[in-house]
Chain A
């Protein structure tokens, strides 16, 4: 069955960097676009970034553009999110999620989500 396991979260000081990973299994990873979505404590869902199935298209929320980079390694079935210049407002649970259907260029909704990894930005 589909499994998405996020890792790399933790406590980090403002201005520092962190790299999140998402290990995918149970489906043909290279065929699906992938998303990062976050949820601050007690708040709603906020889309962060999406990458197309082939990695050629990447889109970012305005709040993270220029600081975060989404990438994928289809040979290792892994999705990543490099987060630089972290701010307290980036504190959240970060979910990775796979598209509902194959071969999407970033505009298909996420159908299956991992359990998330908590990132806390604090001095």
Chain B
């Protein structure tokens, strides 16, 4: 089955740029989607199809995907960006959705 690998945690100061990676075999050939989940709240889609932002999501959130790594970038990080972030892909070989293990972003 297809596996997505994310770093468990990322910590950074406010105003810095957070880079969250999602590794997978030839992930660059797939569409990658990213979710933000804050404690006690439902997940929110922040980027889909590698780099498309839903209308309510700030421009500070951006995505890219190439080779074996997809990346979610959060520019000018704010305290309100503290959350768990998950990547997700549709695995066409198994007709399964796959989530990464999640990355906890901490704003110091």
Contacts and interface: CB of A to CB of B under 8 A. Distances in A.
Interface in A42-64: 44-47, 50, 59, 61-62
Contacts of B35: 45
A107 B88 CA distance: 11
A113 interface: yes
Given A44-B99, A100-B48, A109 B88 contact: yes
B45 interface: yes
Nearest to A105: B95
B43 A113 contact: yes
B42 interface: yes
Nearest to A116: B42
A69 B31 CA distance: 27
Given A100-B48, A109-B48, A111-B54, A47 B42 contact: no
Interface string B19-37: 0000000000001010101
Interface string B45-57: 1001000001000
B20 to A, nearest CB: 14
Nearest to B89: A109
Given A59-B95, A106-B95, A45 B45 contact: no
Contacts of B54: 100, 111
Contacts of A112: 45
Interface of B: 1, 31, 33, 35, 37, 41-45, 48, 54, 84, 86, 88, 90, 92, 95-102
What 8 A-B pairs come out closest when comparing CB atoms? A47-B97, A113-B42, A109-B33, A44-B102, A107-B90, A45-B99, A111-B45, A59-B95
